[in-house]
Structure 1
Amino acid sequence: MIKIYPADSRYHANHGWLQSNFSFSFADYYDPSNMNFGHLRVLNDDTVAPSKGFGAHPHQEMEIVSIVLKGHLAHQDSTGRSEQTTWGGIQRMTAGTGVVHSEMNPSNSEEVQFLQLWFIPDTRGLTPSYEQTSYDPAQMKNNLLPVVSKSQKGENIASIHQDLTIYLAELDANQTIDYSQPEGRKIFVFVLEGEITLNDEHVLAKRDSARITDTSELKIKASADAKFMLIDLV
């Protein structure tokens, strides 16, 4: 089954310095029927004004992934890590038994746009940790590039404490990618730019998403040049 969630169906929060769109219940938005998709608990699409951001705050028992789409994101946390990343970089933080962190826009003139994803970990009580990796966006060209995974390893793939893989892809117009997975798993698709069609039937435009179950074979075709994220999870 493929269920489409249009971009404008997301909850929008306007804080002036912060524009957020929530795909799942978060903060002031509560919907008991939209708490998660498998182990994906949060997907926030954030735009932060120059020199603004999220000051130091705590988290526990969550795997947190940040993917910068535009601009730069500065991270600090109580494990002692202080890093910056941009498009082509991944931040993965294990909150575990408890961590305090901040995410700020270090630019005085440019917005930062990024996705923050939270996943329920496969083990509780983990020691907090932070990892930053980089990938070559050119390898996304007409290809599903793994950037976060538990099962797939490599210096350009961030590790995570959950049975999932996050792929990024850039698909030229009229090009197709076929994706297969074992029965019982789920697929989450989120369009970053452009337009794609799933299994010759379901059309997704920019910031639309799809929650896919009981579908082991997925055909993804770009109706126009497109960038998208695909998450294989349970």
Structure 2
Amino acid sequence: MALATAESMRIVPADQRYHWRNEWLRSHQSFPATGNFDLAANAHGLLMVHNEDVVDAGEGFDTHQHRDTEIVTWVLEGTVVHQDSEGHSGLIHPGLAQRMSAGTGILHSERNGALRHEREDLHVVQMWIPPDEDGRRPGYQESDIRAELSHNELVTVASGIPRDRGDTAITLGNRYAALHVARLDPGRSVRLPEASFGHLFVARGTVTVEGAENGAEATLSAGDALRTTATGGQLVTAVVPGEVLIWEMHASFA
């Protein structure tokens, strides 16, 4: 894994993401993830999958396999029904963070918990990073952080960074990465973490970010992202009620 050297900030508008859909899934992908893609080659820092998916009621992904991947699931609306070959099962709803470590190999399924006749979409963001060591034992963890998200602050949802041990909701199997989330009222702000690589995603609402567009303040709306290299500390301020997901990464695949 390598560190960043040159400072940069790049906005990725929502409509520039990769799109993929079938009869029951609409997927907006910050990195190409459907098909025969080299995920590591297209990654930013350690983040190789960042999919915002809408899944029809009663539908989802049947049992499939993963290996040596840290998968974090964050629900915006609806409920994910999770089951895996290690005996874990759960109902993942907004404010409940979930991490599945595929390790040496795991089978799992994930579906919209609503029945077909209920016609309730599942709106979910799923993110993948690699572990810092292959061949770990598969694992699963979840944590309800709704209370922490009510204070207009940046909340560490998942982290493997040593400074966060004992203080984070979920432990990642990569010591170079952390995921933070903030729910912000209009006019409230948080700062981007200092990091070799960063990825800010606007899940809801509209925010402004200091210095994000040729040194000037930029406005980002739902679905927009900001990719940073060798920088941090910029103020992120909500224009309307908003929610942002921020990856802090101190290494990359390169």
Using structure 1 for the length normalisation, give the TM-score. 0.92
* Structure 2 SS opposite 1:117: strand
The question of 1:160 aligning with 2:201 is answered no
Percentage of matched positions with identical amino acids: 32
Structure 1 contact 140–168 (Cα < 8 Å) conserved: no
Task: Determine which of 143, 166, 169 is the counterpart of 2:182.
Answer: 169
- Residue 35 and residue 140 in structure 1: after superposition, are their counterparts in 2 closer, same or farther (change >3 A)? farther
Task: Determine which of 65, 74, 77 is the counterpart of 1:67.
Answer: 74
CA drift at 1:166: 0.9
Structure 2 contact 78–113 (Cα < 8 Å) conserved: no
Structure 1 contact 165–233 (Cα < 8 Å) conserved: yes
146-155 or 63-72: which moved more? Answer: 146-155
- Residue 150 and residue 21 in structure 1: after superposition, are their counterparts in 2 closer, same or farther (change >3 A)? same
Higher RCO structure (Cα 8 Å, ≥6 apart): 2
Structure 2 contact 72–97 (Cα < 8 Å) conserved: yes
Task: Determine which of 200, 204, 209 is the counterpart of 1:189.
Answer: 200
CA drift at 1:75: 0.5
Structure 2 contact 20–34 (Cα < 8 Å) conserved: no
Unpaired runs of 5+ residues, structure 2, are 1-7, 212-216
Aligned residue number for residue 231 of structure 2? 215
CA drift at 1:34: 6.6
Task: Determine which of 24, 29, 36 is the counterpart of 1:22.
Answer: 29
Aligned residue number for residue 246 of structure 2? 230
Aligned residue number for residue 131 of structure 2? 121
The question of 1:103 aligning with 2:110 is answered yes
* Structure 2 SS opposite 1:21: strand
Structure 1 contact 133–155 (Cα < 8 Å) conserved: no
1:130-177 C-alpha deviation (Å, 9 max, x unpaired): 112111255343210111111324586111011211111112222222
* Structure 2 SS opposite 1:139: helix
CA drift at 1:178: 2.6
200-209 or 145-154: which moved more? Answer: 145-154
Structure 1 contact 135–156 (Cα < 8 Å) conserved: no
Number of aligned residue pairs: give it: 232
Report the Cα distance in structure 2 between the residues aligned to 1:156 and 1:86, rounded to whole angstroms.
19
1:63-88 C-alpha deviation (Å, 9 max, x unpaired): 01111111110111110111111001
Using structure 2 for the length normalisation, give the TM-score. 0.85
1:80-115 C-alpha deviation (Å, 9 max, x unpaired): 111111001111111111111000112111211111
Report the Cα distance in structure 2 between the residues aligned to 1:209 and 1:219, rounded to whole angstroms.
15
Aligned residue number for residue 90 of structure 1? 97
Structure 1 contact 134–156 (Cα < 8 Å) conserved: no
Report the Cα distance in structure 1 between the residues aligned to 2:129 and 2:40, rounded to whole angstroms.
17
Supply the AA of the counterpart residue of 2:205: G
Structure 1 contact 74–103 (Cα < 8 Å) conserved: yes
Report the Cα distance in structure 1 between the residues aligned to 2:151 and 2:33, rounded to whole angstroms.
33
Unpaired runs of 5+ residues, structure 1, are none
